[in-house]
Structures are given as C-alpha cells and as structure tokens.
A = this chain, B = another copy of it.
C-alpha cells in the first residue's frame, strides 16, 4: 500500500513478488486514519476478489506513509499530508482490520527499498534515493540497510543549507532551505520571479519550465541550471557523509533535463569520489515495489529474500 497525500495505491503480489493486480483511490476526501484504513480494506477485498483469491490467501501487508514513521513501533508519528496525522498506530490498525501481519515505513524510504530490490540500485549497498517533488527528501541505504536515525527523520535533506539556498534556520511547518528553492513551489517561484516583466507564461509547473529549458528558452535554462546546481551540492554533500556513490532520482518532480543538468555539474566533483546520478527505473512504482518487498519479509515465508531491511 502506498498512502499518498492525494492518492492511495495498492498492489497485490504473489510470493515471488509478481504483481497480480492494482487498485487506486483518492485520499483527498478521506484523510482520517479510520477512513484510509476502510479504503485499504475495500481495495484489498476488491483485488483479492478480482484475482479470484480467497481472503484467507492474504499473508501480509506493508504500507508506506508520507511522514515521519517509526517502523519499529509501526506508528506514523507526524505528517504534513492527510490533514496532519499524529501518532497513528498504522500497523496495529492494518493488522486488526486485515487479520495479517503488517509493516509500515516512510514512503520515501519504501521507494528506496523498491529501487534496491528491483530498480536502479539493485545490488548497491550504499546509495541514496532522492525524492523530488513538492518537498525534497532522501531514502538512505548504508551497509545494505536503511538508515532511520534516532527520531526516524533520517533523509530530511529538504532542510539542507548549501550555497545560494536560504541561510536562516527553518521555522516549524515551513519548507526547508533547499526545498524552498528546488521543491515544486520553489521552482515555480524562481520562474515567476524571473519572467515577471515578460511576455512568457508565468504559471508553469517545474516539469514545464524544465521542458522549455530543453527547448532553448534561456530564462528557463537559468532556472534549470540554478536548480541543478543546488541539487548537485546536496547530492555531493550527502556523498561526503556516506560515500554513497549512487543517487537515484525519483518523485513526481524529476525529469530528464534536471537529471542531465545535475549530472553535468557533478562531473566536476571528483574529491574524494564522484557521485553517480541516475533516473529511478521503477518510476511511480518504486513505493509499491518497496511495499511488496517489505510485505514479503513480514510474511516470513520460505522464499528467497536476500536481506532484511
């Protein structure tokens, strides 16, 4: 299950990880924990029914949540989506509703698990999944394991201070220094500020702006280059801490122009080693594949799983 701020997605998989069916619904009108759990129950029932499996064949469930998640206790501690869940015992709710073992994880970390299992980071023990969207966050693998941190907030790199980002400390519930410039709203604002005296369309999405850059618009190119420089600083800074040599770019805000611009900047950063940046190979499926991987672990079946996360 991938619980998003606007969509809920469910995939049903067999014990080899093959996807047997998919289900999707909006979470816009149903943000309370009880309503989301009811939606998940409905989706799971429909998926089992469509695939002609009995409800008893369900062995486990894993869910990713868009917020600070204690995967040990199975609790979503806080999120700025879903009208602000606080201390929601998501694992317990899933287990009591579906009657099977459940595991929960932060959605960006779950996407990192997906990329490590089946995607662009397969077999790479030290890598970082960078989720680019409204915010900027990272799912960090070191020594082949997910890093969670003391308070379950490892990877909150949207707050990072790099040259040309905001220098002041972030205030509560405000975007961080980095994401306020290169998150979705930040890029739109860069563009808006740059073309305010101009005949260009002012309200464009990050993807539209970067597509214009690829088509030769010099103003859009400047926004792209500035955004890529800040993203490159962030990736490089992370690589210094962990010596993670692979960065997988994902999330709804990622695009080929941003990838290429970031790559060409990082070509100049060789000390002590140059981080490699690639596109997510699973795309929007990264979270779901991560969820399947975690559910397979939780199911504790005699299948081949290489390591526990």
Q: Which residues of A contact B (CB under 8 A)?
A: 68, 125-126, 138, 140, 142-143, 145, 147-157, 159-165, 167, 169-172, 174, 176, 233, 236-238, 240-245, 268-273
Contacts and interface: CB of A to CB of B under 8 A. Distances in A.
A9 B242 CA distance: 28
A197 B165 CA distance: 33
Contact of A241 (B126, B140, B172, B245): B140
Copies of this subunit: 2
B270 A148 contact: no
Nearest to A172: B271
A233 B161 contact: yes
Contacts of A163: 161-165, 167
Contact of A161 (B162, B170, B243): B162
A241 B138 contact: yes
Given A159-B271, A170-B271, A271-B171, A153 B243 contact: yes
Most buried by B among A140, A149, A236: A149
A272 B153 contact: yes
A126 B149 CA distance: 6
A269 B169 contact: yes
Nearest to A158: B240
Contact of A68 (B160, B161, B238, B272): B272
Most buried by B among A68, A154, A273: A154
20 contacts: A142-B147, A142-B149, A143-B143, A153-B243, A153-B273, A154-B243, A156-B240, A157-B241, A159-B240, A159-B271, A161-B237, A169-B268, A169-B269, A169-B271, A170-B269, A172-B271, A174-B271, A176-B271, A237-B241, A241-B241
B140 A143 contact: no
A11 to B, nearest CB: 28
Given A148-B243, A155-B243, 10 more contacts: A126-B149, A147-B241, A149-B243, A151-B272, A161-B163, A161-B233, A163-B163, A169-B271, A172-B270, A174-B271
B271 A154 contact: no
A182 to B, nearest CB: 15
A270 B153 CA distance: 12
A162 B164 CA distance: 9
A233 B155 CA distance: 16
Nearest to A145: B143
A240 B241 CA distance: 11
Contact of A154 (B145, B150, B152, B242): B242
A81 to B, nearest CB: 15
A165 B165 CA distance: 13
Contact of A162 (B147, B162, B176): B162
Contact of A147 (B157, B174, B242): B242
